[in-house]
Amino acid sequence: MTTDYIWTTDRMFFKHEVSEDLPCNTYSMHTHNTYELIYFLDGNATHVIEDKKYKLKKGDLILIRPFQYHFIQIDAPSRYERYDILFDAEKHNVESARLIPNDMEVINLAGNDIIEGIFRKCDLYYQKSDIDTFEKILAHLLSELFYNIILFPYSLSKKTTTLSPLISKALKYTNDNLCTITGIDEIAEHLFVSESYLFRLFQKELHQTPKKYIMEKRLLLAQKMIRDGEKPTMVCERCGFGDYTTFYRNYIAFWGYSPSKEKEILKK
């Protein structure tokens, strides 16, 4: 049985999820160009961010930056509870999120009444507010949350383990050369392994293929560049797509609309 408070617009996402028996393989590897904040309260799970793994405990606060691939791996079916918020730091004026050190991804805040109180307020305002009001309140609550972490650094970032060293090297090479990579053969050659081995390793460790990993990161980057004012034809070339037709087709498949629609969406 699952009980959810869930609210979403094209600008922000909020969910308070409670499941009594969440099965394994519930969540898949994904990425986006917004921040994501997860407050973990119950369950048997591990969080994977790119090539790093964190075994989760009650009170863990997870901060995922834009363009990072990540997913929660359910290690065993059990009761599961978390808050999940996606937001645009610039659009929602949550600049305090950018002040959190980049190496701080998971912080344990168990017993912190202030942080827990902020999330409980989210439930209250979710039930009592209209869409626009809730979005504004949520942005303010996020700012309060991050400033609390910055001003009162009583919690340390959790220790992490990594996926296989080969995956770490593959991801580093891929991200360093995202817009110029010609294919999985280039990555495999750089690492001195076969393409088939690298393909299997991606699927085992990341639940993702190398091709999809590269494609989705390029499309996220392309969206950001178009929203920053660059022309889609130039973005297509700069992001490593061979031709505009391929870029256009993949853009629609991923985002659900054409590159030229970005300006209209920004005005909403």
List Cα–Cα distances, 212 to 29, 65, 190, 202, 217, in angstroms: 11, 19, 19, 10, 8
Four-residue CA torsion sign, 196, 45, 77, 122: negative
Please report the pLDDT score of residue 214 as a whole number.
94
Please report the pLDDT score of residue 157 as a whole number.
55
Q: What angle do CA 67, 15, 136 make, to 5 degrees?
A: 85
pLDDT tens-digit profile of 113-124?
999 999 999 999
pLDDT tens-digit profile of 28-59?
788 888 999 999 999 999 999 999 999 999 99
Is the pLDDT score of 89 beyond 60? yes
- Global pTM reads 0.85
Q: Average pLDDT, whole number, for the chain? A: 88
**Calpha distance 86→94 (Å, rounded):** 12
Q: Where are the alpha helices (DSSP H) in 55-194?
A: 113-128, 131-151, 165-176, 184-191
Taken as a whole, the chain contains a residue count of 268
Please report the pLDDT score of residue 2 as a whole number.
54
Q: Which amino acid is at 244?
A: Y
Find, among 177, 59, 68, 150, the residue nearest to 107 by Cα.
59
Strands (E), the chain: 2-8, 13-22, 35-42, 45-49, 52-55, 60-64, 70-74, 78-87, 106-108, 161-162
**Calpha distance 198→174 (Å, rounded):** 13
Stretch 200-224: mean pLDDT, rounded? 91
Is the pLDDT score of 107 beyond 60? yes
Please report the pLDDT score of residue 207 as a whole number.
84
**Calpha distance 172→52 (Å, rounded):** 12
- Tokens linked to 112: 């912190």
- Domains of the chain and any CATH numbers: 2-151 (2.60.120.280), 163-267 (1.10.10.60)
**Calpha distance 122→128 (Å, rounded):** 10
Q: Are 224 and 33 in contact (CB under 8 A)?
A: yes
